[in-house]
Amino acid sequence: MPATDISGQLAQHRGYLLRVARLQLRDEALAEDVVQETLTAALAGSGFSGKSRLKTWLTGILKHKIVDAIRRKQREPAAVASFGGLDAELDVEDFDALFNSKGEWDAPPADWGDPEEALNRREFFDVMDLCLERLPPNTARAFMMREVMELDCDEICAELSITANNLWVILYRARMALRQCLEQNWFAAGGARLA
């Protein structure tokens, strides 16, 4: 395949790679760097056999670059707040307020009808992006590692230096927050509202 074809194809995925990197790193310049490193490595490397989809392969390279970047940031003496650790995010809203004193729903989840239809709409993923951006940084990071990068819990715990229990709490909060955000801004709003 001619080199120009490959770089054209890689460029197509740049937007997606940037979105994923931004959500995890919360640092625009760093995200740009990491994506650039990813595309450079992809162009230089011969690892792509064509069997897996190009996007999946690129995401694999991106995953390692993101993890490296997070590790480097954590070692910096004046770590940016969003890399500083989880304690603040663990203390924040734990969604107990959604339940009454008996542990029952105060306002139960709404009926989303046939939610899978939303997966065919680009506007839905715009809303999803905005909901992901609203997550606190370490929560977003852990959630993306789990659901997009598909790391298992042991791997995520090692990367973020947290216990399994911490991780389950964070993932719970991420899911509760996203569910609420999607309900408010898509499913209960009869389609797009935020977008």
Residues facing residue 105 across a β-bridge: 99
Residue 171 makes contact with other proteins by CB under 8 A? yes
Query: Both tokens of residue 21?
Result: 């990197």
Interface segment toward other proteins; rule CB under 8 A; list 29-37, 42-50, 75-83, 161-169: 161-169
Q: Name which position in 34, 139, 182, 185 contacts other proteins (CB under 8 A).
A: 182
Rounded-to-integer distance, Cα 35 and Cα 12, Å: 12
Q: Name which position in 10, 148, 194, 195 contacts other proteins (CB under 8 A).
A: 148
Residue 118 makes contact with other proteins by CB under 8 A? yes
Stretch 12-51: interaction string toward other proteins, x if CB under 8 A: ----------------------------------------
DSSP, res 130: H
Backbone angles phi, psi at 113, to 5 degrees: 65, -125
* DSSP calls for 62-119: HHHHHHHHHHHHHHSTT--GGGS-SHHHHHS--SGGGB-TTS-BSSPPPP-SSGGGGG
Nearest to 26 by CA among 132, 161, 181, 185: 132
Q: Name which position in 3, 104, 122, 190 contacts other proteins (CB under 8 A).
A: 104
Query: Both tokens of residue 93?
Result: 């809203």
Interface segment toward other proteins; rule CB under 8 A; list 5-13, 34-42, 61-69, 179-187: 179-187
Q: Catalog residues that contact other proteins under the rule CB under 8 A.
A: 53, 55-56, 59, 95-96, 98-99, 102-105, 108-112, 115-116, 118-119, 124-125, 128, 146-148, 153, 164, 167-168, 171-172, 175-176, 178-179, 182-183
